[in-house]
Amino acid sequence: MNRIPVAVLGATGTVGQQFVSLLDNHRQFRIVELVASPRNEGKRYKEACNWKLNHSVPDSIADMVVKTSDDPLSAPILFSGLDNSVAGPIEERYAHQGHVVISNASNHRMDPDVPLIIPEVNPDHFSLVRRQPYRGAIITNSNCSTMFLSMVLAPLKAAFGIKSIHVTTMQAISGAGYPGVPAMDILSNVIPYIAGEEEKMEQETQKILGSIGASGLEPARFPVSAQCNRVPVYDGHTETVVVDFETPDKPDIDRVREVLTEFRGLPQEKRLYSAPRQPIIVLDQNDRPQPRRDVYRDNGMVTFVGRLRRDPIGDIKMVVLGHNTIRGAAGASVLNAEAFIALDYFPV
């Protein structure tokens, strides 16, 4: 197979490093360009990047010379790990030039003509790119915490309907990027505020689980109430979720477990390269899932559910866990690109 040339925007950052790692030796993609801030222009990647992953910089990438966002790029697909403070106009410019920008940044997620994609959940939303004003396209994945919540809610919504959601997150420090949260703030502590995070979860979940109509995307109507906390965990966002169903005949726990366990989507049907065989794994142990014991399984691409039980206010409650910088960020974008190609949207 001739691999498609790709570029990584924001290649030296936390998400950019995950992109580099996931795309190295990918069967469909080949990194040909790396883009970072102007201070790194002309440096070799291994010199420009303060590499933080648990393995060495890939040999195929280490000596690649870093470009800046002012440079023209040849790669048709660009994976964006850019910071939100700069991502918006840079991604638009490249999309106008004809590139397909697969973005982890939040700037365009809520644009009405930009698909906010989880391929197992809403691949039909890719059709929104046909409404965009670009020669290329912009495609986004969700906030990391939204990713795991929406993955679990999708099969439950299809089976039972959803009336309301309450979610509280315990989010890892890697979600704040490097150097992240100051040690004196986070050690032995919980910080009950992450700027913009609660709004993202509440709005993005409704967009992902909405439907495409003649006039565009209609968000899901059920309310989502989110409370977000930063905790002293390195990788892995944990969420406690309460779900109130629409169906008058409330399902028992075994039926809910069955729906979650049997859930599959387009990535599994088409056996996409980055797709986990089982996107949701339900754990039966009373003390699972746990970030340290579970989050790195299946290449960090699985959403874990545990402690499924009745709730005295809603219908059920559970604990949800996922890897925030892989399935919640870079891995989500790579899988989005694979799905976009598999559905014959590329080239645009």
> DSSP of 121-161, one letter per residue?
T-GGGGGGGGG-SSSSEEEE---HHHHHHHHHHHHHHHHH-
Q: Examine the residue annotation and report whether 99 is marked as an active-site residue of this protein.
A: no
Phi, psi (rounded to 5 degrees) for 88: -50, -65
Structure tokens at 278: 């089982």
Structure tokens at 137: 């396209």
C-alpha distances in Å from residue 180, one per residue of 14, 162, 188, 231, 276? 10, 35, 16, 12, 29
Distance CA(236)–CA(321), nearest Å, equals 7
Q: Examine the residue annotation and report whether 144 is marked as an active-site residue of this protein.
A: yes
In 3D space, the residue among 79, 4, 1 whose CA is nearest the CA of residue 34 turns out to be 79
Of 99, 108, 125, 237, which is the active-site residue? 237
Other C-beta atoms closer than 10 Å to the C-beta of 194 total: 17
Structure tokens at 96: 């106008």
Distance CA(48)–CA(41), nearest Å, equals 8
Structure tokens at 314: 């809603």
In 3D space, the residue among 73, 118, 123, 125 whose CA is nearest the CA of residue 100 turns out to be 73
C-alpha distances in Å from residue 153, one per residue of 4, 9, 221, 311, 319? 33, 31, 13, 16, 12
> DSSP of 60-72, one letter per residue?
HHHTPBPB-TTS-
Query: How many Å is the Cα radius of gyration of the chain?
Result: 20
Of 144, 166, 228, 323, which is the active-site residue? 144
In 3D space, the residue among 92, 91, 38 whose CA is nearest the CA of residue 67 turns out to be 38
Cite the active site residues: 144, 237
